[in-house]
Amino acid sequence: MKNMKFLINNPEQSKQLQQILFKLGHSWMNKKELNYIIQPYIYTNSDLYLTYGNDIDYFHRNPKISQNTNQFILQHSCLHNTINASTQSCNQCGLSIDEI
Ligand SMILES: [Zn+2]
């Protein structure tokens, strides 16, 4: 999985993002609990342990792939309630049951 970096705009957005990242297998040192919600930057890493930061220069220098946080949240949120039992994914947006 490619490593990503996220700019966090507010605590509520941080919570939404973390819940999605937990479902995708990421965690804070093995804990899938909301944490660091006031921190402005969240990073994913190859070992699947999340890290956070508050240094804007580090954020911009970091070569991880920058994600639009709002867009990422929307792309990983299914509101359709049309799960196909045989494919285990949403008929409309294609997200798998593990991602939503
Ligand atoms: Zn859907």
User: What are the tens digits of pLDDT across the range 47-83?
Assistant: 999 999 999 999 999 999 999 999 999 988 888 889 8
Distance 25 CA to ligand 1 centre (A): 20
Q: Separation of 75 CA from ligand 1 center, angstroms?
A: 9
| Predicted local confidence at residue 1, as pLDDT | 67
pLDDT of residue 81: 84
Alpha helices in 1-100 (DSSP H): 11-23, 56-61, 69-75
pLDDT value at position 94? 87
Could you read off the pLDDT of 21-32 as tens digits, one per residue? 998 999 999 899
> Ligand 1 centre and the CA of 63: distance in Å?
31
**How many angstroms separate the alpha carbon of residue 88 from the centre of ligand 1?**
11
User: What pTM value is reported for the model?
Assistant: 0.85
- Give the mean pLDDT of 2-10: 96
Cα of 82 from ligand 1 centre, angstroms: 6
| High-pLDDT (> 70) share of the chain, % | 98
> CA-CA distance, 83 to 89, in Å (whole number)?
5
In this prediction, residue 80 carries a pLDDT of: 87
- C-alpha of residue 71 to centroid of ligand 1, in Å: 15
- By DSSP bridging, strand 41-43 and strand 89-90 are unpaired
Q: According to the model, what pLDDT value does residue 2 have?
A: 84
The answer to whether 88 and 25 have CB atoms below 8 angstroms apart is: no
The domains of the chain are located at: 4-90
Report strand pairing: 89-90 vs 83-84. antiparallel
